[in-house]
Amino acid sequence: MWSIYAGIPIFLGLGAVAVPVSSDTPKDSWEFGNSLFYLGPPSGSAEIIKATYSILAPAVPSGYVSSDDDPVWVSIWVGASASESDNNVDLYQPLFNWSPDQEAQGCPASTEEWCVAASTYTPDSQIGQSYIIVPANTTLDFEIAVEDENVIQTVTMAGKVISKQSDALDYPLQYLLSSDECYTGSGSCGSIDEWYIRNLTVTLSEADSSFSSVFELDGVTAADLTTSDSGTTWHTEWIKITSIDFENSSDLDE
Ligand SMILES: *[C@@H]1O[C@H](CO)[C@@H](O)[C@H](O)[C@H]1NC(C)=O
Ligand SMILES: *[C@@H]1O[C@H](CO)[C@@H](O)[C@H](O)[C@H]1NC(C)=O
Ligand SMILES: *[C@@H]1O[C@H](CO)[C@@H](O)[C@H](O)[C@H]1NC(C)=O
C-alpha cells in the first residue's frame, strides 16, 4: 500500500512511523488524504528531470482539535522520488505547512496563513529550509529540477525566489506525486478545502510517448496530460485535489 512519506516537522525531528488509519483519530499518527495523483514511472530508461507547477493553497484547515503540548500540523505538497511507496529513498517535496502552533513548527506565519519551504524527506531525517510566510491568496511557482546529479527545488513568489534547496540525487526520479498530510498530535486535523496543482509541466530525459498512461488519479480530477514534442515534455493545465475531512476515515488513504 501507499507509503508514509511524512513531512516531519523540521524543528522537532520526529521519526516517520507508519500507523494504521482508523476511524477514531489515533494519537501521534500521520494521516493522508485519499485525493492524490501519481505520475510515473516513465518507460525504458527515461527519467523525470524537471517538474514545474503552480499552487494557490486553500484556506488553512478548519474544525481541527489541537492541544498546546502536542499540536497538529498539516502539509500539502507535490514531490518527486525514485519510488511511489518506498520510504528508504529520498522524496524531494517543497511543502506548504500549517499548525495552530506555527511557532512550534518554526513558521513565522499567523494561524490564518500557510508557510512554505523547500524540503526533502530522507530516510534519516527531513532536511528543509526555514519556513516562509505565504500571504493569503498568493499563488506560488515551484520547480524541481535535476542538474548535475543534484535535485534543486525552487519556490518563487511574485517572480522572486523565496526558498531554494539543492540535494544530491539519490536515485533517478521516476515518480511525481501529491499529498494532503496530517500529523494528529493528540488532536485531529479537521478539514481542508479543495486545491489545484496548475500548469504542471514534466520533462523527461528522453521521449516516452506512453507517459500519460502512468498518470494515476486517485480521487482527483485532471485535465489531459499531453505532449507537444512526441513524449519528452508533458503538460496538464490542472489537477484538482478534492476537499478532505481528516476525521472521516473514508476520506483517508489506507
Ligand atoms: C481571495 O480571493 C478571493 C477571490 O478573488 C476573494 O473573494 C477573497 O476575499 C480573497 N481573500 C483574501 C484573504 O484576500
Ligand atoms: C506555465 O509554466 C511555464 C513554465 O513551465 C511558464 O513559462 C508559464 O508562464 C506558465 N503559465 C502561466 C499561465 O503561469
Ligand atoms: C465521509 O465521507 C464519505 C465519502 O466522502 C461521505 O459519503 C460521508 O457522508 C462522510 N461522512 C461524514 C460523517 O461526513
Q: Any idea which ligand is nearest the CA of 110?
A: 1
- Supply the residue whose CA is at minimum distance from atom 13 of ligand 1: 136
Measured in Å, residue 137 CA sits from the centre of ligand 1 at: 6
Measured in Å, residue 60 CA sits from the centre of ligand 1 at: 13
Q: Are 121 and 6 in contact (CB under 8 A)?
A: yes
- Give 195-223 pLDDT, tens digit per residue: 999 999 999 999 999 999 999 999 999 99
Count of positions (residues) in the chain: 254
Cα–Cα distance, 157 to 166 (Å, whole number): 18
Of ligand 2's listed atoms, the one at least distance from the Cα of 53 is 2
Measured in Å, residue 24 CA sits from the centre of ligand 3 at: 14
Determine the residue of 134, 137, 138 to mutate for testing ligand 1's pocket, defined as the one with the most ligand atoms within 8 A of the Cβ atom: 137
Measured in Å, residue 75 CA sits from the centre of ligand 2 at: 24
Q: Ligand 1 pocket, 110 CB below 6 A?
A: no
Q: How many CB atoms lie within 10 A of CB 4?
A: 17
pLDDT above 50 for 133: yes
Q: Are 181 and 77 in contact (CB under 8 A)?
A: yes
Determine the residue of 191, 243, 245 to mutate for testing ligand 3's pocket, defined as the one with the most ligand atoms within 8 A of the Cβ atom: 245
Q: How many CB atoms lie within 10 A of CB 231?
A: 18
Q: Are 88 and 95 in contact (CB under 8 A)?
A: no
What predicted TM-score, i.e. pTM, was given to this entire model?
0.89
Cell of 83: 519510488
Of ligand 3's listed atoms, the one at least distance from the Cα of 250 is 2
Q: Any idea which ligand is nearest the CA of 247?
A: 3
**Cis amide prior to 41 (ω within 30 degrees):** yes
Q: Ligand 1 pocket, 136 CB below 6 A?
A: yes
Of the pLDDT bands very low, low, confident and very high (cuts 50, 70, 90), residue 24 is low
At residue 99, the pLDDT reads: 96
Of ligand 1's listed atoms, the one at least distance from the Cα of 137 is 1
Cα–Cα distance, 231 to 254 (Å, whole number): 33
| Ranges 9-13, 212-216, 250-254, most confident | 212-216
pLDDT above 70 for 23: no
- Give 56-94 pLDDT, tens digit per residue: 999 999 999 998 889 999 999 999 999 998 989 999 999
Q: Which residues line ligand 3 (CB under 6 A)?
A: 245, 248, 250-251
Specify the range with the lowest mean pLDDT, choosing from 6-10, 26-30, 107-111.
6-10
97 backbone φψ class: left, alpha, beta (φ>0; ψ -120 to 50):
beta
